Amino acid sequence: MLLTVFIIALFSVLVIGMLQLNTEELQLMQNQIFAAEATATAQAGLNDAFSRLRRDVYWDAGFDDKGFNGGTYSVAVAGSVPNLTVTSEGFSKQGFAARVAADITIDTSGSNNHTVRIDNLRVNE
């Protein structure tokens, strides 16, 4: 009887330990997913800015807390045409943040839909 109680206690400790490990791994996985959502939101802000710049090369207003996928992004444009730096900060609905910045060159030779070339892309620097 004493041996049975000892074996049950040993198995209980093993099961509790395994549950704790699984819980921590699930939390780490959720954090990675939320961080990826924030990065995707920041990239959406960058793409939104590129779309505006294709139509108007002198657009530099940026965006403040524009909603996307339950989160928000803010975009800032710096520099002078044709060389600009566009920086986008994305925030997931869970509060995770990511930053994406691109050094770009805009081809202004066309009349509409200018070409935007990314010269350097930085993520979370």
Tens of pLDDT, residue by residue, the chain (125 residues): 788 888 888 888 888 888 787 778 888 899 999 999 999 999 999 999 999 998 888 888 999 999 998 999 999 999 888 899 999 999 999 999 999 999 999 888 766 778 888 999 999 88
Q: Which residue has the tokens 């691109």?
A: 102
pTM beyond 0.85, yes or no: no
State the DSSP string of 10-76: HHHHHHHHHHHHHHHHHHHHHHHHHHHHHHHHHHHHHHHHHHHHHH-TT----EEEEEETTEEEEEE
**Quick one: DSSP state of residue 95?**
S
